[in-house]
Structure 1
């Protein structure tokens, strides 16, 4: 596995020149056409087959996670100036929130150029209720999304150290430490906040994925600056990862319940099995059993599903698996997965989110959900496209460098 370190020099474009990498890099770059030259957020989804328009909650939505990934992927493509436009939008979001000034970023912003004043959030006119509507999750702040925004800023800091990206990432990490630290065993960082301004609900559960994101961010900042607070945060999040890894059957749990209990191993997620293997520099060899677990229990349709029900191909997760396999030296299997991704390119040049009409995850969107209502649909997806670039080019988003 490549060392999970960050180079002090400017990152170079990843060397992969596969047809898929070329197609997806062109598509990411083209997604900014007609948006001027300043800070911008890119819409996360486009209408899928048979759709003339997206559902209202998605029509103007640019999810922070997707845009952070796009900035990292554009860097891997060698399109650093385009990547910086997204990075500058993330910095604007950090300092020009309509309500808060504590270092958070929202889960989503309104797609398009960022103007003056407070940043606009997604929303739509609800004609039946006759009022402007917003989405509680999109207005909220998930811990992992803050960490991903900061990882994008650190990626950009390597080529533009004067632009304030590192300071922005440090402030985001500060919000995570101040607002989500949870001393209940296993100690770690909770899910963030959900709901509408100004009174949002704190999420008491802790996510394995989020704590991996926090560890990668804090460890990267500590390597750059050597600050002890970053080292402590990285160690706390790493301890959480150790605690949620079940030696038998060799799988990472989703995290903890709101009450603080470990989640069972009967329901798992693909990304939770993969990211620790490329996001922790000294990951123990035993953790690789999680990838073997995924191959046995989550593989389907030539790639991988989000969870164990295997009801369809999760394109983003299949790209994550390809990158992880490449980092572990399993190149032949990685190339097989890249070939599967190449079969999921939409007419727009973006990757579809899935190969089925609706892909289940078994996860709820937020605390108000009465059922597991987080789905992926067969729509062109910015996040999947960005992960496709990273897989095709072998670029590790947790380190800012190639895995090869």
Structure 2
């Protein structure tokens, strides 16, 4: 298996230096997006590559007929589709109005206030109502958890995606407020036994670092604290921390502020130190101290791969890539898709997690470029983009409740997993991005039995109707509350939101991650059916080069 995982860098080296006429091996050819894998190296050099196939802002490759580097415009050697695919797009007026709604929602979301210049956003907005079924429909006003705990959650992942959207949108100071809250949680003034990483672990900053828990409240919490009333979920999640690193790196590239880049490098260094596996699957375990877990997640390793790619860490890239690629067909029940991950009975367990197929693993693998084999991309998408009746993830919901005498009507979206019920709009928006990218690369007819162009348009129009109805995107449009969800009666009029199928559900509350992903999707493809622009892909190498690291670490909290 590992022989088939040669990187694009290896292939580019062959292109630069070889005079052989041998055909390209299938994986190297596919990684470069060639449509004919019988092409020789010399023939491929003579052909006209495209940035859709090659990606944006990698390294200059001698001998290539055109380039997609950040400097190609200055040197006059850009591929024909460079401006269309790699540069910031002009936003048409109707899309700008939609983006302004996303902006307004994020700006108005409650924010932690204990920090002087920053704070995380509350994950969910106020209830949109659960319907008219009495005790099975009443939702707490402030947030889903408020009825039982009297507190709302401020999730790290949602805030990382929001920070990336705000950065791409040019709202730098709004993004900075989120990132500075992350920095507060990452850097304690002193060493904290058993949870800190430091200089001896190779951290570029030379500072003490505590990785971030999954979710907090609006009240003050100090770095390295993973329990107590102000921590909603203290689990140190590999994927969440990789997303924080992605947000920091994207911000550093956009602003040129290298201090934020050093923080991203610190996070990747800590993940490599604390979660790596050395068996045949490689990759990284899902959770670190103080509550480690032995299982490995496909989605988490996609996140680590993308962070490592942006930071130029080939070892971490390859470790994460091997694991993700090995997860294709790893769940024998679903051999055409990427499995959720492995079990965790022992550290770096290699046995299959026998559970549902998650939407994010299928679509994010494509967005991140971790699996470049066309056949696998096609297989995962064809399997996912079947209707719910055929075991796929595409579903149609009806907005029976609406808001202010308005309804989004019947809407098209994707389930959280193939065991779930109802569209979950965060996953739907990110899937739409992957589908659009796939269509631009391979065409509308690349999937058998899937009307790809129609599905993309249907999802986009559905989400925009929801945005127009509510002024934001809820996690779900299905009514019902936790008591309704526990009944597990999906045919009910108000079934308890959109069930993930793996132990929790999403209710009718405006959702930070769903709004941020829709914002990214609109930046990614500003015009329905138009070209996609990689700069808005949160997993992509940034449009601007990463800054040179300076000695100044002024963005980090002060040492004691």
1:322 maps to 2:405 = no
Q: Deviations over 1:149-204 (max 9, x none)?
A: 0000011011223351110000000111011112233111001137xxxxx33110
Structure 1 residues 58 and 172, CA gap change in structure 2 (3 angstroms): farther
Whether the 8 Å CA contact 1:61–1:122 is kept in 2: the answer is no
Distance 2:174 2:116 in 1: 9
Post-superposition offset of 1:23: 1.5
Structure 1 residues 144 and 346, CA gap change in structure 2 (3 angstroms): farther
Whether the 8 Å CA contact 1:273–1:291 is kept in 2: the answer is yes
Q: How does 1:367-382 map to 2 (within 5 A)?
A: 372=503, 374-382=504-512
Which protein shows a greater Rg?
A: 2
SS in structure 1 of the partner of residue 292 of structure 2: strand
Q: How does 1:128-147 map to 2 (within 5 A)?
A: 133=229, 138-147=233-242
1:250 aligned to which of 336, 340, 346: 336
Larger mean Cα displacement after TM superposition, 171-180 or 57-66: 57-66
1:21 aligned to which of 95, 99, 105: 99
Structure 1 residues 33 and 252, CA gap change in structure 2 (3 angstroms): closer
Unaligned residue ranges in structure 2 (runs of 5+): 1-51, 59-68, 71-85, 130-139, 198-208, 387-391, 397-411, 445-452, 479-495, 525-535, 544-560
1:43 maps to 2:122 = yes
Structure 1 residues 46 and 189, CA gap change in structure 2 (3 angstroms): same
1:237 aligned to which of 303, 320, 337: 320
Post-superposition offset of 1:6: 5.5
Post-superposition offset of 1:144: 0.1
2:250 aligned to which of 145, 155, 159: 155
Distance 1:314 1:375 in 2: 9
Q: How does 1:97-112 map to 2 (within 5 A)?
A: 99=192, 100-102=195-197, 103=209, 104-111=211-218
Larger mean Cα displacement after TM superposition, 322-331 or 386-395: 322-331
Q: How does 1:345-364 map to 2 (within 5 A)?
A: 345=467, 349-356=471-478, 357-363=496-502
Post-superposition offset of 1:40: 1.9
Distance 1:151 1:78 in 2: 16
Larger mean Cα displacement after TM superposition, 287-296 or 45-54: 45-54
Larger mean Cα displacement after TM superposition, 329-338 or 375-384: 329-338
Structure 1 residues 122 and 27, CA gap change in structure 2 (3 angstroms): farther
Whether the 8 Å CA contact 2:245–2:307 is kept in 1: the answer is yes
Unaligned residue ranges in structure 1 (runs of 5+): 124-131, 195-199, 223-229, 364-371
2:414 aligned to which of 292, 295, 304: 304
1:384 aligned to which of 510, 514, 527: 514
* Structure 2 equivalent of residue 189 of structure 1: 284
Whether the 8 Å CA contact 2:123–2:153 is kept in 1: the answer is yes
* Structure 1 equivalent of residue 63 of structure 2: none
SS in structure 1 of the partner of residue 142 of structure 2: coil
* Structure 2 equivalent of residue 128 of structure 1: none
SS in structure 2 of the partner of residue 39 of structure 1: coil
Task: Name the TM-score, length of structure 1 as normaliser.
Answer: 0.81
Q: Deviations over 1:302-321 (max 9, x none)?
A: 11101123511111111011
The RMSD of aligned alpha carbons is 3.2
1:209 maps to 2:287 = no
Relative contact order, higher structure (CA 8 A, sep 6+): 1
Q: Deviations over 1:78-122 (max 9, x none)?
A: 21221122122222221138954323122123348xx8x935979
Distance 1:2 1:32 in 2: 41
Task: Name the TM-score, length of structure 2 as normaliser.
Answer: 0.60
Post-superposition offset of 1:281: 6.2
Larger mean Cα displacement after TM superposition, 170-179 or 278-287: 278-287
Whether the 8 Å CA contact 1:244–1:262 is kept in 2: the answer is no
Larger mean Cα displacement after TM superposition, 311-320 or 142-151: 311-320
Structure 1 residues 58 and 283, CA gap change in structure 2 (3 angstroms): farther
Whether the 8 Å CA contact 2:474–2:514 is kept in 1: the answer is yes
Structure 1 residues 262 and 291, CA gap change in structure 2 (3 angstroms): farther
